[in-house]
Structure 1
Amino acid sequence: MVHRVRRPWTKEPVMADAQQNYIPGLEGVYVNESGMSSVDGANGRLYYRGYTIEDLAANCNFEHVAYLLLYNELPTRKQLALFKDDLIRERYLDPHLKAIIVLTPRHGHPMAVLQALVAQLAMHDPELADKTIEAKRRKALRIIAKMPLVVTYFDNLRGRERTVVRRDDLSHAANMLYMLTGKVPTPEEERIFDVALILHMDHGCNNSTFTCRVVSSTEADIYTAVVAALGSLSGPLHGGANERVIEMLESIEGLADIEPTVTEMITEGRKIPGFGHRVYKTVDPRATILRKMAEALARDRHDDRDLVKAVRFMEVTRAKLDELGKTQIWPNVDFFSGVVYKALGLPKDMFTAVFAISRVVGWTGHHFEQMENNRIYRPRLMWTGRQLGTAYIPLKDRG
């Protein structure tokens, strides 16, 4: 395999052979071992700790799968009950943290708020300096339990008529929905939100997970690793696609406008939000599950307008891509997650924050896994700059 790279000071390409191991974006490169999740892109399968995502989504809730990812075992009844109690016990924010959120500009994006406040959480953790595995696990629980409170408290301050106080009698998913919408979710709504959170918990060595592992490899604390991962997820090429899916669907007035819209996007070479994936070459299994969740919500609300529009858009887009021979571009998890979140009443700019509140389980699990057999990441960059050894020109001779 040969890659051709152009130096900025010459039109001649530089030949970089495989011995230099130059692979842009590290695509397909194995950088470590993991037992967290496995993505089978060719066959459209996803596994957490060896279990299929379909089985876990059908039989578990957030707490159940979080325990599995963090401890590498399905919990017993007693273990699950204790884990739930531990999460609820950490379901609070210190007054100092609330004061910081109050001072946060209301126009700030929830992801920026999360990144700033998780860093603050570290400074209020009484065990920050304790590097034992037991203390680190307690820190992970605090992060997982408190992140939903950060974004919901911030959202409450942005224009709610009242502040919605947490409910410790509700599950992790139900409490978050309650604090964002102001109403206790129905069992069906809670179940659907639980599934959505499960589907986003981990996904191989994605960019934010890799970021978390890279930072963890320096032996930085778990809070720092999560803050770095949040920064990665805030980038539009990683998180935020579900927001853009809803914005796109809302901009299309009727079903008759879908085909010309898709044609225009493809003709102009624009990226279609919610379509395509670096790993999956067929349907994303998470998208299949979320479509069923969207259908259930549409039936429950007797309102299928967004769903009908989304399905029609998907069908038209797939047909157009097939015509062009692009048979490996399919809807990903973001395509239907936005439809589900909107139906549940979540603010659009909260979609990526909800993603983070789920994915933090995976990030913390990868932090622990990285430290089990740690080696600091130190890749190299291929030189494409000025000729090495270029003669220095004194300032007086530069004109």
Structure 2
Amino acid sequence: MNNRISSNMMYDQSVALMLSKQSKLSHLEQQLATGKKIVTAKDDPVASGTAVGMDRVLAELEQLGKNANTVQNRLGLQENVLAQAGEMLTRVSDLTVQANNPALSVEDRKTVASELKSIKDSLLALANTTDGTGRYLFGGAADASAPFSLSNGVVSYSGDQTQRQVEVAPGTFVKDALPGSEIFMRIRTGDGTVDGRAAGTNTGQAVLTDVSRDASGGWDGSSYTLRFTAADTYEVVDANNAVVGTGTYTSGEDVVFEGLRLRIDGAPAVGDEFTVGTAGARDVFGTIDQLVQTLQMDTSTPAARAAQQNALQASIRDVRQASNTMIDTRAAGGAQLIAIDNAASLREANTVTLKSSLSQMRDLNYAEAIGQYQLEGAALQAAQTIFSQMQSMSLFNMIR
């Protein structure tokens, strides 16, 4: 059976073929102009979808990098502030030791007190440091306004206790600057665990120079009072006033009881007491205020002088603990900065891998595309030639 081939059908097929070749050439021209293998999603739907997902991951990595830069800036500022605060507290400690010199006159102590007040003001300014974007460094999450304020000589904290955690790499979080309440306000007294104080009613000249836990252990956190029953003997009572120990006192030697160790110098009076127990908490500004008040104490009698020395020794311990808090915070911030550096390496490695995969999916092989372009151009020319020849074919030409 013979199939009839009409002129219209041949014409339509030729036109469709030329249009197809032209469309292919146009697509190849777009690929060559853009350098991309995938011009539209229909070129490779699977690869196109995968590439979009990778683009999203790259955008997330870029945002994580911005997060890391922000928190790195804040942690760097925290390091600078704490370094300055540490230097100020070192000066406070030096002034405290200087003030403990019996040779100092009343005017000398006033000068020391004046410098201490100036240091307090400088510490307050540091505590209200901003991060350069208008946010306060030590305000926690409530960092839109100054976290520390001074009212009637007393510093208060109005920030919150939140320490942000910022994602700086996939699954990697670092901690932002510590809230100011943990740096400047909630500082443990004494050695950070145990603290001791002389009773305000003492009439002797004994001074508590050190208090700590004994290396042998055994302290259960209870409070005790060491009471002198004579110039060279003492008893230790618990919170219920029950006697738990007695001993002989020698000036400058340690007194050890119930896992605690006290060192007392000087001559006590009968009935003088020293309490020891769990360390409390005080803000660094209050410590400086208390030190200023101590320097203003009356020292006209030996007992009053001993009371001042006891207060100064307590201040030395408290300032030392505040300095340790600054050091510990700086160390914690340094660990976070190291984590940021490690996160940057991870982000960079992931970015290189993703961009390499995207290049394989999207980037054009120019040699292959140019060859294909030339091949399609030759095919289009052939189709156009055939179409032109087909148009000239006619039986009327044969009749003539």
Task: Return the TM-score normalized by structure 1.
Answer: 0.23
Flag the structure with higher strand content. Answer: 2
Task: Return the TM-score normalized by structure 2.
Answer: 0.23
